Structure 1
Amino acid sequence: MTIKTGFWAETQLYWRSGVLELDDDRDRTAAEGDFCPICTLLIPLPQGKHSSFYGCCMKRVCDGCVVAARKRGLYDCPFCRTPIPDNDADSLVMIHARVAKKDPTAMYHHGGHYWRGTLGLQKDRKKAVELLTEAAELGSIEALFNLGAAYYQGEGVQQDKAKAVEFFERAAKQGHIGSRHNLGCIEAAKGDYERAARHFLISAKLGDKESVENIKRAFMTGCATKEQYAEALKGYQDAVEETKSHDRDEAKSLLLH
């Protein structure tokens, strides 16, 4: 089972005695940022292959809505109508403007560019972690996830798997699918297959195929029940079905990514 990593590659939970308690029925809620802000449908995973991110408004718009906008002759941002920058410098100016206003999403992406050394920035992992930490404090669950991945792998920070779990739990608590999947992997590695399966069931029902495959492997090795696998598969299929639309089907045929 593979941990989902970060840059380098309202859910309700309850706490008791420091252990993340699961409410399987109520946990099937994705984060707000997982939905297209125009059509309001859940964006399929992996999101990078089915949507585009716009630094002007810090919104991720599904390919279906991008194509629909282009059919109307709109080639600017389909959400806020701002012209799309055609160079790194202007893109960075947009991000800086929102970072100055303490926008957590902008801080998260700014940290990502420092992490990778993109948009003309020199790679600086220390600066990236500082920005991610501030973004997380301001409410970015993507920042929480990436901090968790960084601490789990020991990338850019001293490895601290206990701290990584804390970040993943905080993100999962707010509906982050990758964090939920990672918690399942971590529980499985500890040998707690029941809790692992429950984590995977939640992320599978939010459209994560890897979680379904993990439960399938667990079932084949006797670590999960047939009922759990059937529930995960059906939940995944239902989630995928809910992401479909005519515009998205058309976008898929155009191979935007």
Structure 2
Amino acid sequence: MKRVAANDPVAIREIGSKYYNNGDREHAFEYFTNAAELGDASAHHELSIMYQKGEGVEKDEKMELFHLVEAAIGGHPDARYDLARKEGRNERFDRSAKHFIIAANLGHDGSIRALKEGYKHGFVSKEDFAAALRAHQAAVDATKSPQRDAAEAFAEKFDVYRSSKLLVEKMLEY
């Protein structure tokens, strides 16, 4: 709570996540909004999801897109991936591929699979696909550590979904 009082956007977002997971969408929205105003990309992504689903707020495609773009600009790989999918659904395949490439460069696995399909169908060049594969591997390698490997082994052993929030909670219980 000291970090929340000091306006730490990550701490504020985590409080929002706690409210969200407990079903209190109204308070979650308030905390996510506060964290987003402080520049937290993950909070923007959470808000985009809330606006998309109409959870705690009225469905609003413009606000969904606003927060999705802000999260993507802030470096959130899932937001970049979601933008790519949205562009693909709107048949803007060049823009979609660019977003997938950026997400892949951030280490997003789903983007590599999407780029592979795009390459198969001629929407992605061989050079762009190869560059994205190299950048993706570099991003994945940069995040490797013995602690991360141990956490992953723990998650697999107990069949825990690889969400960092759930993983931390389960590890604390263990």
TM-score using structure 2 length: 0.80
CA deviation string 1:137-174 (max 9, x = no partner): 12221111100111122222211122111111112212
Question: Hey, what does 2:21 align to over in structure 1?
Answer: 116
1:176-255 → structure 2 map (5 Å cutoff): 176-245=76-145, 247-248=146-147, 251=150, 255=154
Pair 1:148 & 2:48 matched: yes
Q: CA RMSD in A?
A: 2.0
Aligned partners of 1:168, 1:254: CA distance in 2, in Å?
32
Question: Hey, what does 2:9 align to over in structure 1?
Answer: 104
CA deviation string 1:179-211 (max 9, x = no partner): 111111111111111111111111101111100
Amino acid in structure 2 at the alignment position of 1:108: R
Q: How many Å apart are 1:252 and its aligned residue?
A: 5.6
Q: Which runs of 5+ in 1 are unaligned?
A: 1-95, 118-122
Partner SS for 1:212: helix
Question: Hey, what does 2:26 align to over in structure 1?
Answer: 126
Q: How many Å apart are 1:254 and its aligned residue?
A: 5.4
Q: How many Å apart are 1:232 and its aligned residue?
A: 1.8
Amino acid in structure 1 at the alignment position of 2:115: I
Work out whether residues 184 and 195 of structure 1, in 8 Å CA contact, stay in contact via their aligned partners in 2. Answer: yes
Structure with higher helix content:
2
Aligned partners of 2:149, 2:115: CA distance in 1, in Å?
32
Distance 1:227 1:134, change over 3 A: same
Question: Hey, what does 2:72 align to over in structure 1?
Answer: 172
Distance 1:250 1:223, change over 3 A: closer
Aligned partners of 1:253, 1:113: CA distance in 2, in Å?
23
Aligned partners of 1:226, 1:152: CA distance in 2, in Å?
34
Partner SS for 2:57: coil
CA deviation string 1:100-143 (max 9, x = no partner): 332221211111111111xxxxx311111011111111222111
Aligned partners of 2:44, 2:100: CA distance in 1, in Å?
19
Number of positions where the alignment pairs a residue of Structure 1 with one of Structure 2: 156
1:19-38 → structure 2 map (5 Å cutoff): none
Aligned partners of 1:154, 1:253: CA distance in 2, in Å?
33
Question: Hey, what does 1:54 align to over in structure 2?
Answer: none
Q: Which runs of 5+ in 2 are unaligned?
A: 156-166, 168-174
Structure 1 residue runs of 4 or more that deviate by more than 3 Å after TM superposition? none
Distance 1:171 1:253, change over 3 A: closer
Looking at CA atoms only, which structure, 1 or 2, has the larger radius of gyration? 1
The percent of aligned pairs where both chains have the same amino acid is: 36
